[in-house]
Every structure is written in structure tokens, then in C-alpha cells.
Amino acid sequence: MSLLAPAAIDHEQIKSALRYLETKHEILRSVYQAEGTYRIEKNSFVDSALLGIANIEGSHDIFANDAAKTLIGTYLSGAFDLSKGPVYRYALFHITNAEGLTRTLIYLGLHHAAGDFKGFNSLLGELMDFLVSDTRTAVAENDNYAALVSQP
């Protein structure tokens, strides 16, 4: 699925948002070991979940940009390795139109083992809420990711 933000969002903001979601939804940190078993990682998958970032200038047509087409192909064709994680992946497209306005398109994919369509839509809503709220400041200022993860 994709989200088109009304303005440019930098990669650090998106990483903070995804880390925040990982703290709330441990399924995003799940690694499946064998049929029916899994473990929850304490470390974030944000960096390994990133497929790439493409900058597109002068057009809103991402398919007219070779780098963007390659990134979309990777996004669509890549298989999830549930034994290593992550169960989600994302790609970013910074699109600048002829007037100089930049917007960010976020492609976000979630393996079906981690959630259904309704759950995925809920995650997208939380992602956007985070990106427009003050919550991101508290998470971004915390250097210790493990401290953000709720311990059993």
C-alpha cells in the first residue's frame, strides 16, 4: 500500500515512526523459526526493511523515472524471509513538481503472516498519525531503542 504525504517527510521522521510502531506492535519485530513458532526481536528492523529511496523531479509520474521503476520492481518482486525478518518493508519516493513542491510517497508492504487488510490499514493510520503528531519528538530523542520496547 502507499501513502502520499501532503509535504516532504525526511527519512529520519519515517524511521522514528516505524520504530514507534515496532514498540506498539511486536509482530513487526517477529521472526518465524519453524512451523508455528516465532520469537520477538529486541532490535529494530527499520534499516533492513528499507528497500530504497528515489528522488523524482519535475513530474508526479513515478513510472517515468528509471530509479523509481527499479525500486518499485524490487518492492513488488522481493520475497519476505520470515526466518530473518522483517515482516514488513518500505520504499520512499520524494516527488518534486515543476513548482518546486515536494511530497513524499511511502510504499509500505506487510507480510500476510503479520496482519490482515484491516490490521494493515490500522498500521497505516497510526503511521500517519505519528508523522503529524508530537509523539515523534519523544521517540526521536531517545537513543536507546531497547528502552522503547516494552519488556514482558
74, 52 in Cβ contact below 8 A? yes
Residue 99 CB coordination number (10 Å): 5
Radius of gyration of the chain, Cα coordinates, nearest whole angstrom? 16
Tell me the C-alpha distance between 24 and 1, whole Å: 20
Side chain identity, residue 134: D
Segment 56-113, tens digit of pLDDT? 887 767 777 788 888 888 877 788 899 999 999 999 988 888 888 888 888 888 888 8
Segment 10-56, tens digit of pLDDT? 899 999 999 999 999 999 999 988 777 889 998 999 999 998 888 88
**CA dihedral in degrees (128, 134, 138, 139; nearest 10)?**
10
Collapsing DSSP to helix, strand or coil, 19 comes out as: helix
37, 57 in Cβ contact below 8 A? no
Query: Which residue is listed with cell 513510472?
Result: 63
DSSP state of 29: G
Pairing of strands 30-34, 2-4: unpaired
